[in-house]
Structures are given as C-alpha cells and as structure tokens.
A and B are shown apart, each in its own frame.
Chain A
Amino acid sequence: MSNIKSLADQLKSRLEEQKGLSGRTFPAELDEEKTDANDRKAKKPAVDTKGLRSFLSWRILIWMGRRKS
C-alpha cells in the first residue's frame, strides 16, 4: 500500500473515531456545540402547549361548574 494511501486511511479512521458512534458528519470538536444546540432544542417544546393547557383547564372548570349546578 502507498504511504499517502495509508496516511489517508489512518486519518480517515481517526476522523471516524472522533465522530463517535453517533455517525455524525463532523469531527468531535463540534459535538459539544451540537449537544448544546440539541439541549436548547430539547428544553424548548416543539409546539407551544401553554396556551392549549390553559384553554383546556378553563373548559374543564366551566364543565365541572355546569355539572354541579
């Protein structure tokens, strides 16, 4: 095998290792930043349910009030 090919293969496997088991496209140095971005995404719900919950709780209270009366 040629030296440059074996160098490229070594660097490729090192790069694959750095990417980790997640199979990401980018070297490991970016993993942390990507994780942060994912965390931020996880903390923020995809759909804002606050308004929906509030609406439903009011509907339930009204419904319960009507049942009692």
Chain B
Amino acid sequence: MLKFTLMVILIGNQKGGAGKSTLCLLLAYYLSMLKKKKVTVLDMDYQASISGKFEKAKILENDPIYEVIPSDLKYFPALLELLNQNREEFVLIDLPGKMDDDLLIPIIGSAELIICPFNYDEFSVDSTVLFSLVCREINTLSPVVYVPNRIRATVKYETREEVDKVLSRFGGISPGISDRIDFQRVGTIHIPASLIPFFMPALEFIYSNFMRKG
C-alpha cells in the first residue's frame, strides 16, 4: 500500500497583489486547523510578508499552529530533502511575484499542485496566462487550479466568462473569493471568523478535487 508522503503545493502568480500570501495563509489555516494536517509554509516571496506575520504572532500570541520557514530560493533543494523525511505533510510555497530566477525551475518542477490566485482585470489575466504557460513548460504533470480573488459584488465582470474559458484550458477554476477588508487581518494564527464563509467554498473545492487525502 502506498504511504502518504509530502505534498508540495505552490501558490503563485506573476502578478503582484493577486493575493498569493493571503491565500497561502488561508490554506495553511484550513489544512492545519480544519483538516488536522501537518503543514509547513516556505515563504519564498521577496516581500516575506508571511514570515513577518509569523514572527510577530509568535511574540504576541499562542504557539504557532504550523511552521513557517522564510527561505531564499537557493535553499529549496536542501529544504525539500529535509522535509521529505517527514511523512504526511503539506508543504505550501508562497512564490515570489516574478519569473526572473532560474532557481524557480526546480521549485515549479517539484510541485504536485499549483494554485494560482488572480483578479478579473486585464493585467492580472495576462500575467496569469503567462504564468500558466511557463509552469506548463516546466511541469507538465501537475494540475493547476485558479482562484478568482477579490470579487466585488457590485462589479459586473464582462470578461469573466471568457477569462474562465481561457483558464479552463490550463486547469480547474475554484469558486471565487469576495473582496473583504477583513482579509487584511488574516494572520498565521488568527483568522477572522466572519471570513470563513467567503473563503471556504474555494478551499473545499481545492481540497476535494486536487489534494491527496492520505
């Protein structure tokens, strides 16, 4: 019988501000608190916002519910080697918002799932399509799932249907996540309960369709 091993999940998009770090925090919380899974977050984003929040939370709040490792891209092979010794673990990688470093190639290549948050605006869609093309060149096997982010109830997205049609050629599209100011308060330990109905459908979709359950 095959044993559940490490599952490397990338959260990336070439576009800055697409919501990568917030989605990474939400997914880490969802997997560790709600699904009782062991999670490690590798913060490889140049902005290091997750590790910043993690360090602050360690001082001000309780024990962390998952591990956050801030890391340069070059340490990825060593970290993966180390984490591979642990079984039954999800490794979430918050990627930088740039495709300018060859050190990204082994990271994209080792992913078992690529999660790509995006917004329905022209620049975000362009970057998302480009990110998808690059990922497909490097990693032909792993599925990609797109998460429509910052959806505003008052805006009529005229291109939404067309964008979804384009992205569905690369992978699955999850239910969207609404634009709420409370998402700025998402941390490594605390997540406002009021947000749960807004992000849960997207994460349930990803978990039930794309993740190994062990």
Contact = CB atoms under 8 A, between A and B. Distances in A.
Given A12-B130, A15-B133, A25-B159, A4 B166 contact: no
B162 A30 contact: yes
Contacts of B14: 8
Range for the number of chain B residues in contact with chain A: 20 to 34
A15 to B, nearest CB: 6
* Chain A, interface residues (CB within 8 Å), range: 10 to 19
Contacts of A7: 134, 137
Contact of B130 (A2, A3, A15, A26): A15
A4 B162 contact: no
B165 A30 contact: yes
A27 interface: yes
A11 B130 contact: yes
A12 B102 CA distance: 17
Contact of A5 (B100, B122, B137): B100
A4 B126 contact: no
A25 B166 CA distance: 11
Contacts, number: 48
A11 B130 CA distance: 7
B31 interface: no
Contacts of A12: 130
| Main SS at interface, chain B | helix
Contact of A4 (B105, B129, B165): B105
The secondary-structure label for the interface of chain A is helix
Contacts of A8: 14, 99-100, 130, 134
Interface string B107-133: 000000000000000100110011001
B151 interface: no
A11 B137 contact: yes
Interface in A1-58: 2-5, 7-8, 11-12, 15, 25-27, 29-30, 34
A4 B134 contact: yes
B63 interface: no
B101 interface: yes
Interface of B: 14, 99-102, 104-105, 122, 125-126, 129-130, 133-134, 137-138, 159, 162-163, 165-166, 169
10 smallest CB-CB distances across A and B, nearest first, come from A11-B133, A8-B99, A2-B102, A5-B100, A25-B122, A8-B134, A3-B102, A4-B102, A26-B166, A12-B130
